[in-house]
Amino acid sequence: MIERGNPLPSVGIKLVTAAGVEDTTSDAVLGRGTVVLFTVPGAFTPTCHDNHLPGFIANAAKFRAAGVDRIVCASANDHHVMKAWANASEALGDVDFLADGNADFARALGLDKDFTGTGMGTRYARAAMIIRDGIIDAVFVEDAPGVNASGAPAILMALEAA
């Protein structure tokens, strides 16, 4: 699993923003400035949709005030699903979305998790990280169901403590 001090891996992804969808790489999106990346098992899934994403949307101004240049959500969903989720959640402009349909970036980070028992295949573990100029500064991985260590309040506290 990726750790503090590791460089961000470069993997092909699709970026969903208010401007549309583009093919790019993880390091091009996450490698400049201070970025908060949070990863979720799936778009529209109950915990992700109701408990994880909303905290980052609601606290976007606080993240910017803490020096965060970009908030990004990654999931192993295709870009059509990620765009629909971004639109439905009204997050665009506050949060950008990485569509990692084959979970290649999830594997490169060591955050891939087997959800085949629930019919979802390989997905991301629920996590968040602070990235500064392409170097991992902090990683927060949930060790139980729910949103605690990787939620917006915990990441804001970590930013304030840094």
* Tokens describing residue 83: 């765009």
pLDDT at res. 119: 86
Per-residue pLDDT of the chain in tens (162 residues, 90 and over written 9): 999 999 999 999 999 999 999 999 999 999 999 999 999 999 999 999 999 999 999 999 999 999 999 999 999 999 999 999 999 999 999 999 999 999 999 999 999 999 999 888 899 999 999 999 999 999 999 999 999 999 999 999 999 998
pLDDT at res. 32: 97
Please identify, in words, the CATH class of the domain defined by 12-161.
alpha beta
The C-alpha atoms of residue 23 and residue 44 are separated, in whole angstroms, by 22
Catalytic positions are 48
pLDDT at res. 162: 82
> Looking at the chain, which runs of residues are DSSP E strands?
12-17, 20-25, 34-39, 70-75, 96-99, 112-114, 122-124, 127-132, 135-141
pLDDT at res. 18: 92
What are the residue ranges spanned by the domains of the chain? 12-161
pLDDT at res. 132: 98
Q: Please tell me the pTM assigned to this model.
A: 0.96
